[in-house]
Amino acid sequence: MEEAKEFLQLNKEEAESVSRLTIHPHRLGFQCSFYEDFALRGIRVDSVQPGFVSCTFRVPPRLTDKSGNLATGAVANLVDEVGGAIVHVEGLTMNVSVDMSISFLGTAKLNDELQITSKVLGRRGSYSGVIVLVRNKVTGELIAEGRHSLFDKHGSKL
């Protein structure tokens, strides 16, 4: 634990740099949060149909690990966000993620263009299940397959 604390300690220059940051409060429904902007900036929605969405995303440097691959946490975030978007009802709060299962089948490198598709598998009451596929758009290689379960506290209908 001490090693982790030491690793996270900022030196004087870093502390001064952080203290100069201005982060304005998030206005829900009007703008992206810092987190959404950091994780999703650059994603492009290509196609939307009932129960299906397809997006394109180029792997940016900010989401790569030390090996230059798209970080597994970034893949999990894409599964969460794109999977949640397919069952979201405009004007209501986002659904709650109940469970995610992700199979990591390949790697994506910096600047690889990815195709991310999400499809609703089914819905029972307020519970929805979706599948999210992350592929290399050029080679067709399947990078990850995610199954995502969500709960809608409003009980909305798709």
What are the residue boundaries of the structural domains of the chain, listed by start?
A: 35-151
Residue 22 has phi, psi (to 5 degrees) of: -115, 115
Please say if the pLDDT value at position 127 is more than 90: no
Please say if the pLDDT value at position 92 is more than 90: no
pTM of the model: 0.74
Please say if the pLDDT value at position 78 is more than 70: yes
- CA gap 108, 70 in Å, rounded: 5
**Identity of the amino acid at 121:** L
Mean of pLDDT values over 94-99: 74
Q: Give the pLDDT of residue 8.
A: 75
Q: Which residue has the higher pLDDT, 44 or 92?
A: 44
Q: Which residue reads 């379960």 in tokens?
A: 149
Please say if the pLDDT value at position 28 is more than 80: no
Q: Which residue has the higher pLDDT, 52 or 123?
A: 52
Residues 6+ away with beta carbon under 8 Å from 55: 43, 44, 45, 46, 82, 115, 116, 117
Q: Give the pLDDT of residue 14.
A: 81
Give the model's confidence band at 107: pLDDT under 50 very low, under 70 low, under 90 confident, else very high. Answer: very high
Q: Give the pLDDT of residue 113.
A: 97
- CA gap 144, 137 in Å, rounded: 13
> Is 120 in contact with 129 (CB distance < 8 Å)?
yes
20: enclosing H helix or E strand:
none
Q: Give the pLDDT of residue 25.
A: 66
Q: How many helices (H) and strands (E) does the chain have?
A: 4, 6
Mean of pLDDT values over 89-105: 75
- CA gap 61, 49 in Å, rounded: 31
Mean of pLDDT values over 85-114: 81
> Is 84 in contact with 138 (CB distance < 8 Å)?
no
Mean of pLDDT values over 86-90: 65
CATH architecture of 35-151: Roll (3.10)
87: enclosing H helix or E strand:
none
